[in-house]
Structure 1
Amino acid sequence: MFALVVRFDLRDESAATEFDRLTSETLPLIERDEPGTLVYATHRIENEPLARVFYEVYRDRQAFDTHERQPHVVRFHAAKEQCLASVRVEFLDPSAAKAPHLGR
């Protein structure tokens, strides 16, 4: 299993709206075309209207690398840049989980 958390801080409300639009276009393609992407959860942060957090779990590092090369993900990454004030990526080292659907 390979996992990461990404926090996006957006420039302003207009950027947040555009970021959410890009996310809503991209998520169904991830779901449809990426069997190695086990969880791709997007979140707003309570009381922080310009922040978003993505929690991503992949079967393994290769599935993550495949995800990053998908045309819909490449488009998302290119288009989201105009929306961002900052981004923080944290790669996780899973040690234990309660998630039977993530089993091998």
Structure 2
Amino acid sequence: MQVVVALLLIFGTLFILIASIGVLRMPDLYTRMHAATKAGTVGLAALLIAVALSIHDLTVLSRVIGTMVFIVLTAPVAAHLLGKSMQARGYKIWRNRSVDTQSIEQEK
């Protein structure tokens, strides 16, 4: 069981680190929100599952489940509302993509 808990802690920590780097490195608000919401939620879920597996108590399990449900329900809604409010204020999407648009047009 300790190996599973250790793997979940490492997995969760890596996802939180990826979310943090994504917030720092992404070019605009929309991509930063995506990085923080997706990777942060998965990382936190892995950390909470590791806590639930390492502490064998019903109160800890119920708090972990409650916290996970709260984060899974509120993080996407908060990111969506923030994105909508920024779009309404005129925040522009980052358009400097590194995708080769000529090859995409030739495929059509």
On whether the aligned pair clears a TM of 0.5, the verdict is no
Give the alignment's TM-score, normalised by structure 1: 0.33
Relative contact order higher in (CA < 8 Å, ≥ 6 apart): 1
The structure whose Rg is larger is 2
Bigger strand share: 1
Q: Which has the higher helix share?
A: 2
